Homo-oligomer: A and B are copies of this chain.
Amino acid sequence: MNLTLDGKGALYDQIARALKLEILEGRIAAGSKLPSTRVLATALGVSRKSVLQSYDLLCAEELAIARAGSGTRVAKAVPMRKASSEIGSKPQSQYAARIDSLPPVSLGAGHLRGLKYNLLYGEPLVDSALFHSWRRKLSAAALRAGPSYPRAGGYLPLRRAIADYLGRRRGVICDASEILIVGGTQQALTIVERTLLDPGDRVVVEDPHYQLAVHSLLAHGAQLVSVRTDEQGLVVRELPKGKTRLVFVAPSHQFPSGVAMTLARRLDLLRWAAQGESWIVEDDYDSEFHAGEGSLPAMRSLDLADRVIYVGSFSKTLFPSLRLGYIVCPRSLRDHFFKAKMLDDLGSPALEQAALATFIQSGQYERHLRKTVTEIAARRHAIVEALQRLAENHIELGPHRSGMHFVVWFRRLGFDRLDAFIERAKSVGLGLHPVHPYYRHMPARPGLLLGYAGLSPAQLKTAADLFARCCEGM
């Protein structure tokens, strides 16, 4: 017998573990006799006591049997640890079963990673000055936030800073007490679902939609109804009759179509929600990156019936690894949302909240936003201008005044040739991502979701040039 100890933990534990491995993998046969404790102790150069203890452990686990006078034997029926391959991951709950049947996610498709001109949505605008400044803020915040459990609802100065910002910039008038700090939009949705939905409750999502929101809703057991959007946003008159618990919308910048919901539609939707006592989740992502005459008022600012759950995050305006966002809670839901957050994780980490509070209060956040908006606009202009100039007879551009991406639709290319087109682009270093996976009802023509935040204007011009060349060749 050739035992190898792994040096981890108590000696008797190491010996027992090594023996276990030999037994379980069949190198010591079931029913066979183990060496005497004296022999094994000498062989391993350890005390007899350690070997004795390890044998006791094996007996306690019923892997071995000690008999007075006849030493210790390996048990005849050894409980085999199941090999990895044998373990089915049988879902243990309805939630787990629903997770198993979720459709695949397209966002961040890995096979195009590493391409020089990857027009991937969700790549942040990397700003080294921001990072530098953020490090200083964090360092200072470590002293201020303190070591104790944070308030589950969030660090109060941060909630005040957000309330103030929302009033000034989005016309959302609210108090710090109504703001709940969460770990990004995804957690906001988790909390909303837990508090508002029973499995089987009806929820309306826009078509097209943000996939991870839909996944979260499906995992929670929501009965999803997908409602069409047009160039004015969600088609409110097509909303289902009868009880709908929740509508999930992104009125500032529909994802991924880029449409901004018109004021008339916003008011229609608010009226519909007030009449049917439905809740509206307003995901106000990307509202900060609007070009031109400024964005429309947030639905929350128009909401008299207190039906809007306003959700924002700092993933796009600062960086995604921050994992901070917030919910502006309707008054009647506030207590439930706060308790759900507490029960979920006792609150988000305090340090980053303190750093972010300073960042907003000092005005640095809005200076950073202005700088980012300018830079994003330059990138947007570079690719839009180049595509319009070089490829407009091949593609039609969707709305592109806001955000960090837009959609282009092929004028002539059919779905049958889309994969070949994407492959051709890949061969010249251009990463392209189809938009149809975001649609519940297949669009009439193939299109692409072009994310441009991660590339410089010069790179984007080259990307547009490559794109045009791919078009010519088809």
Is A345's beta carbon under 8 Å from chain B? yes
Residues of B within 8 A of A91 (CB): 336
Is A413's beta carbon under 8 Å from chain B? no
A89-B336 contact in complex given A124-B148, A167-B8, C-beta closer than 8 Å:
yes
The distance from the CB of A232 to the nearest CB of chain B, in whole angstroms, is 14
Within A118-157, the residues touching B (CB, 8 Å) are: 122-124, 126, 131, 134-136, 138-139, 142-143, 145-150
Counting contact residues on chain A (CB < 8 A from B), the size range is 35 or more
Residues of B within 8 A of A60 (CB): 263-264, 267
A247–B253 Cα distance when bound, in Å, is 46
Is A6's beta carbon under 8 Å from chain B? yes
A82-B294 contact in complex given A89-B336, A345-B183, C-beta closer than 8 Å:
no
Most B CB atoms within 10 A — which of A145, A170, A186? A186
Within A145-199, the residues touching B (CB, 8 Å) are: 145-150, 167-171, 173, 182-184, 186-187, 190, 194-198
Within A319-355, the residues touching B (CB, 8 Å) are: 319-324, 331-336, 339-340, 343-352
Q: Which of A92-100, A357-365, A366-374, A456-464 contacts B (4 or more CB under 8 A)?
A: A92-100
Q: Is the CB of B345 within 8 A of A323?
A: yes
Q: Is the CB of A93 within 8 A of B349?
A: no
A467–B198 Cα distance when bound, in Å, is 51
The distance from the CB of A56 to the nearest CB of chain B, in whole angstroms, is 9
A320-B89 contact in complex given A8-B171, A79-B274, C-beta closer than 8 Å:
no
A95-B349 contact in complex given A90-B332, A183-B183, A344-B187, C-beta closer than 8 Å:
no
Q: Is the CB of A195 within 8 A of B148?
A: no
Q: Is the CB of A138 within 8 A of B332?
A: no
Q: Is the CB of A126 within 8 A of B143?
A: no
Is A81's beta carbon under 8 Å from chain B? yes
Residues of B within 8 A of A145 (CB): 321
Residue of B nearest to A277 (CB): B92
The distance from the CB of A411 to the nearest CB of chain B, in whole angstroms, is 34
Q: Is the CB of A323 within 8 A of B336?
A: no
A302–B124 Cα distance when bound, in Å, is 45
Q: Is the CB of A143 within 8 A of B170?
A: no
Is A112's beta carbon under 8 Å from chain B? no
Residues of B within 8 A of A69 (CB): none
Is A231's beta carbon under 8 Å from chain B? no
Residues of B within 8 A of A182 (CB): 345
A148-B321 contact in complex given A61-B267, A183-B348, A343-B216, C-beta closer than 8 Å:
yes
Is A17's beta carbon under 8 Å from chain B? yes
Residue of B nearest to A152 (CB): B186
Residues of B within 8 A of A123 (CB): 148
Q: Is the CB of B92 within 8 A of A336?
A: yes
Is A228's beta carbon under 8 Å from chain B? no
0/1 interface trace, chain A 23-37, chain B, CB 8 Å (1 if under)? 010000000000000
Q: Is the CB of B332 within 8 A of A148?
A: no
The distance from the CB of A149 to the nearest CB of chain B, in whole angstroms, is 4
Q: Is the CB of A321 within 8 A of B131?
A: no
Q: Is the CB of B93 within 8 A of A194?
A: yes
Cβ 8 A contact of A320, one of B8, B149, B331, B339? B149
Residue of B nearest to A293 (CB): B10
A343-B215 contact in complex given A145-B321, A348-B183, C-beta closer than 8 Å:
yes
The distance from the CB of A428 to the nearest CB of chain B, in whole angstroms, is 25
The distance from the CB of A114 to the nearest CB of chain B, in whole angstroms, is 14
Q: Is the CB of A92 within 8 A of B138?
A: no
Closest 10 interchain pairs by CB? A9-B171, A147-B319, A321-B350, A187-B345, A183-B345, A323-B349, A87-B332, A149-B320, A8-B167, A135-B142
Q: Other than the known A8-B167, A9-B301, A183-B346, what 13 A-B pairs have Cβ atoms closer than 8 Å?
A: A60-B264, A61-B267, A62-B271, A90-B332, A95-B195, A95-B198, A96-B336, A100-B336, A123-B148, A131-B147, A183-B345, A219-B340, A323-B350
